[in-house]
Homo-oligomer: A and B are copies of this chain.
Amino acid sequence: MPRPREFEPDTVVDQAMLRFWWQGYRATSVEDLVKATGVKPGSLYSAFPGGKHTLFLKSLERYSKLVVPQKLGELESPDAGLAELRGYFDGLVSDLLSPEGRQGCLLVNTAIENAAEDDEAAAVVRGHLARLERCMTTALGHARDRGEVRASVDPAGGAKVLVATCQGLMVVGKANPDATMLRAIVDNAFAVLA
């Protein structure tokens, strides 16, 4: 009986995600979202009750499902080792240096901009950090078993440090997107493990 919806909600979330990613939550207005999606306010609010904030949370989840796996790449494969770990960091650096990647990571931005005042957003960020830590622990364990890093490196502890280091890499990259600096950070982070 009902008139069918003329837009695909997932597509709307995708476009909203891009806006939140590039501009941040506060700096993105509902009017921005209307322009970006082509969906008028009324339809937006009826399709996403809760409005801007709901759309933001859905954007975070969509980012986790769509963008994060692509960035992690082989690092999430069960037998990832040092090469995959290094590949992830190198990918971060080249992203930060490219015009399309300057915005960094939506989840890192969210940690800083919203985590203190938005528990739901903070929970998504915590999930992401745990996921990162998990696959880095695995990769570091394999790296140690294969002799790719010093035997004295503790995979669980080292992974926690690497998680922090890659978050910090993005903070530094935002303020100072300089190839020499970013590559030096990665080079030395791995040199210390070898």
Contacts and interface: CB of A to CB of B under 8 A. Distances in A.
Nearest to A189: B161
Nearest to A108: B171
Interface in A156-178: 157-158, 160-161, 163-172, 174-176
Interface stretch (A3-11, A12-20, A44-52, A112-120): A112-120
Interface of A: 24, 26-27, 102-104, 108-109, 111-113, 115-116, 122, 125-126, 129, 153-154, 157-158, 160-161, 163-172, 174-176, 181, 184-185, 187-189, 191-193
Contact of A115 (B111, B164, B169, B175): B175
Contact of A176 (B102, B108, B129, B170): B129
Contact of A103 (B116, B165, B187): B116
Given A161-B185, A164-B168, A188-B158, A175 B126 contact: yes
A126 B168 CA distance: 14
Copies in the complex: 2
Given A26-B27, A175-B122, A176-B129, A184 B168 contact: no
B157 A167 contact: no
Contact of A164 (B109, B113, B154, B165): B165
Contacts of A26: 24, 26-27
Interface centre among A126, A168, A169 (most CB of B within 10 A): A168
A192 B192 CA distance: 7
